[in-house]
Amino acid sequence: MNAQTDANASEHDVRLLHLLAERATEGLDLDAEDELADRLAGLPDDMADGPWDVDAFDEAAALCTLVAHAHDPAPEALGDDARARIESSVLARLARLQEDDVVPFTQDLAPIDRDAPPPLPGAPASGVFERPVDFPETRLPISTWSGWLAAAACLALAVAGWWPRIDGADGPAGMPPVRAEIDAPTSSVAARHASFVERAQSPEDAEVGLWMWVATEDPAAEGVTGDVVWSTQDQEGYMRFTGLPVNDPTVSQYQLWIFDRTQDERYPIDGGVFDVDESGEAIVPIQAKISVDEPFLFAVTVEPPGGVVVSSRDRIVLTAATT
């Protein structure tokens, strides 16, 4: 299909080009759709993917649209409220779509290379754990992007109605979550974290797990890297963040949730509420409210001061998952 083709085309060909162009710009009624289908079906097989590429007009129209959008001095702006409603609704709809065909949350996450050296403080996560870079430097292939949507959808499904398992008086109407303390990296907390990372990297110690944080699209996740380490045997673990924004505890706090294979996925374990009070690197002890036996997903959310017992899951900032 090209301009020369149009100039020399038969009446049949011109009509076919007209239908394809019409479909790409203003759509076709049912009769025209049927006519287009009949005409395309009548093409020789070797023509359908060549000069009569049926998507060519749509692609050209899309590119024209993108060019005009890129040069639009005043494109329509999407407000924060509308954006939040759209994202929330899409995640909920995707979660419903996933109910009968669940895609593993971790489908795009490679296994941890236990022989690799531990991540350097402040160094970005590597490989598939690296946060997607925005245009124009690097773009996620659609498979990865859709995989993230799948992950988000699964997470939305998993957190639909979630609340932490808290013993006794610490039920949904019980005491507020225990606050985790954030320490400077030079403290014993940092030393414990470092020792856990070392254990996780050791072939002789498969008991400690190490996972890299994956940033979501939440604004607070911009540029955040780090890891989470957990020992089921010790029931002890630490989170390391680089670049997680300082929060105002009177406005909002971060909260960790731990998904455990031995538990119902709808009820992640409350891993503690914490604050970031200075920029740079922060290491936070995990304060799991009950025993964590087989963690497979960690998620950090932004919640009201004091944390919550049932997350609204409006702001999922980071996730770290096993394969």
Query: What does the binding site for other proteins look like in residue numbers (CB under 8 A)?
Result: 1-3, 6, 17-18, 21-22, 24-27, 29, 55-72, 75-78, 82-83, 85-87, 89-90, 93-94, 97, 134-136, 139-143, 145-146, 149, 153, 217
Nearer to other proteins, 133 or 184 (CB): 133
Sign of CA dihedral 290, 129, 94, 96: negative
Bridge partners (DSSP) of residue 282 are 241
Helix, strand, or coil (residue 6):
helix
* Coil/strand/helix, residue 261: coil
The span from the CA of 66 to the CA of 54, in Å, is 20
Nearer to other proteins by Cβ, of 46 and 137: the residue is 137
CB of 23 to other proteins, least distance (A): 8
Smallest separation, CB 63 to other proteins (Å): 4
Query: Are the C-beta atoms of residues 275 and 222 closer than 8 Å to each other?
Result: no
User: Please, which residue, 52 or 211, has the CB nearer to other proteins?
Assistant: 52
Instruction: Compare residues 52 and 274 and give the one whose CB is closer to other proteins.
Output: 52
The least distance separating other proteins from the CB of residue 296, rounded to whole angstroms, comes to 23
Contact call for residues 21 and 9 (beta carbons, < 8 A): no
Structural Rg of the chain based on CA atoms: 26
Smallest gap from residue 215 Cβ to other proteins (A):
11
Closest approach, Cβ 13 to other proteins, in A, equals: 12
Which DSSP string do the residues of 53-77 spell out, in sequence order? -TTHHHHHHHHHHHHHHHT-SSPPP
| Residue with tokens 């414990």, as numbered in its chain | 192
Residue closer to other proteins, measured from CB, 86 or 206: 86
Q: Write down the residue that tokens 């050209």 correspond to.
A: 60
Tell me how far, at minimum, the Cβ of 64 lies from other proteins, in Å.
Answer: 4
- The minimum distance between CB 145 and other proteins, in angstroms, equals 7
Q: Smaller CB distance to other proteins: residue 55 or 294?
A: 55
241 neighbors 279 (Cβ within 8 angstroms): no
**Toward other proteins, which CB reaches closer, 76 or 204?**
76
> For 193-251, what is the HEC assignment?
HHHHHHHHHCCCCCCEEEEECEECCCHHHCCCEEEEEEECCCCEEEEEEECCCCCCCCC
**70 neighbors 20 (Cβ within 8 angstroms):** no
